[in-house]
Amino acid sequence: MKYIFHLGRIPSLSVAELQKMLRKLEVKYSVKFISKEMLTLDIEREINFKDLIKQLGGTKKISQVIDVHSNLEEVFQNILFLLDKLTGKKNIGYSFYFTEQHDNKEMRKIFDEIRKRFIDIKKFEAGKSSVRLIFPDNETLELNSASIYKNKLTIRGIELNIIMSNKKILLSKTVAVQDVESYSERDYGRPKRDSRIGMIPPKLAQIMINLASIEKGKTIFDPFCGIGTILQEALLNDYRVVGSDANDKQIDNTKENLHWLSEKYDLTYPEYKIFQSDVGNISRKISPNSIDAIVTESTLGPVYKKLPNLKEMKKNFSELEKIYLKFFQAAKLVLRKKANLVVTLPAYKIKECQYMFAPFIDKLEKIGYSVNCPLDEGLITKHTRITSRNSIIYDRLDQKVAREVIIFQNK
């Protein structure tokens, strides 16, 4: 069966996360197609996709390929056939994609044609049953995840994806969609937030947890826990957690946020250990070799509106280097052998796709770690790039300081 994973904003991270997850589930697959927006896999067995998508921060939705057609006529014949099988009130949504760059005018023309055909279907079905059409956004041409989720299209209706490539048209049906509102609630709805410390987005926290590749029930430690975002996502994904931070106030914030989380969600491991400590002293409160993975984001340094000069970048990196050397040495004492340590480091965006990286990675490796490549060779393409030092960049257009996601392994 072929399935399409509709990727989040940073395709390399989405694919890396998915690869780790499928390996853990022991699912065999072959890669059919990768673009900036989609990864198509031929999967050898059924998976519970609704369950899977809850565990993925980097996949927006999953759809099942129904057929490949050579023209729109065929596509809509197939759609009519599919709709006939739906019973009761029919909620129908659709999204439209081009896999290659296309002339905007031509794209718009086909988009309008598709819209017209869906309206015709609604008229055609009107005599037989009640049909509600949910139209995609006029700019992005796709239905957003919130709308698919809210309208329960994967449960009581249908969302169809019409995917045009140069020669053929692929029709797929959405089988699972990310619950974006839940992420947003965990980000904005929790009792404590602190924009000054640079909060990691919950989706990225979940991706990093998955990159650590450990079994459910194992222990994840965040020694710079801040307001507890990584710990919160780890708890929701059925891990045990330990957290520490040098700042007392952040410890209170983490405790309050985790308490809120445990009231709101049914957690498999509702107990957690949170304590105040400088990162250099963590081994005083954690037993040797008891941690299965460290997932963390220390400070990324000052937030800049424009790119800082070289001297400033060097100064920030040198401050961070001190913290990181101390951290990696202390982590050696508590982390199990071969366990992963997933971190983000600041990367200054010099130009499009050109970054100034933290210069101290080799010093961290010398302490007794190696950097693990996040993606298998067959999954590295022009759309899913990794850096020359085997890391992945997470950035936003408007930000001068990007995050560099790196997987270290304790040797």
Ligand X SMILES: C[S@@+](CC[C@H](N)C(=O)[O-])C[C@H]1O[C@@H](n2cnc3c(N)ncnc32)[C@H](O)[C@@H]1O
Q: Smallest distance from the beta carbon of 203 to ligand X, in angstroms?
A: 12
- 256-265 own/partner pairs: CB under 8 Å, 24+ apart: 256/191, 256/192, 257/190, 257/191, 257/192, 257/227, 257/228, 257/232, 258/228, 258/231, 258/232, 260/190, 260/191, 261/186, 261/190, 261/232, 261/235, 261/236, 262/235, 265/236
- Cβ-in-10-Å burial (0-12, 13-18, 19+) of 398 comes to exposed
Residue among 77 and 399 whose Cβ is closer to ligand X: 399
The answer to whether 32 touches 43, Cβ cutoff 8 Å, is no
Give the nearest residue (CB) to ligand X.
Answer: 226
Residue among 228 and 308 whose Cβ is closer to ligand X: 228
Residue with tokens 């950035």: 395
Single out the residue of 49, 76, 224, 369 in contact with ligand X (rule: CB under 6 A).
224
Single out the residue of 197, 307, 325, 356 in contact with ligand X (rule: CB under 6 A).
197
Q: Smallest distance from the beta carbon of 212 to ligand X, in angstroms?
A: 14
Residues 175-194 that bind ligand X (CB under 6 A): none
Site for ligand X contains 299 (CB under 6 A): yes
Single out the residue of 229, 316, 340, 410 in contact with ligand X (rule: CB under 6 A).
229
Site for ligand X contains 199 (CB under 6 A): yes
**Cβ-Cβ contacts under 8 Å for 170 (sequence gap 6 or more):** 65, 67, 68, 69, 161, 162, 163, 164
Instruction: Calculate helix-pair angle for 229-236, 248-264, nearest 10 degrees.
Output: 30
The answer to whether 43 touches 34, Cβ cutoff 8 Å, is no
Single out the residue of 206, 250, 384, 391 in contact with ligand X (rule: CB under 6 A).
250
Give the range of 12-20, 50-58, 64-72, 221-229 binding ligand X by CB under 6 A: 221-229
Site for ligand X contains 246 (CB under 6 A): yes
The answer to whether 339 touches 408, Cβ cutoff 8 Å, is no
Beta carbons within 10 angstroms of residue 83's beta carbon: 18
Residue among 58 and 228 whose Cβ is closer to ligand X: 228
Residue among 91 and 344 whose Cβ is closer to ligand X: 344
Site for ligand X contains 279 (CB under 6 A): yes
* Residue 353 region by backbone torsions, left for phi larger than 0, else alpha for psi between -120 and 50, else beta: left
Residue among 307 and 323 whose Cβ is closer to ligand X: 323
Site for ligand X contains 200 (CB under 6 A): yes
> Total number of residues binding ligand X (CB under 6 A)?
21
Single out the residue of 57, 58, 226, 301 in contact with ligand X (rule: CB under 6 A).
226
Give the range of 19-27, 83-91, 206-214, 240-248 binding ligand X by CB under 6 A: 240-248
Site for ligand X contains 206 (CB under 6 A): no
Residues that bind ligand X (CB under 6 A): 197-200, 224-230, 245-247, 250, 278-279, 297-299, 323
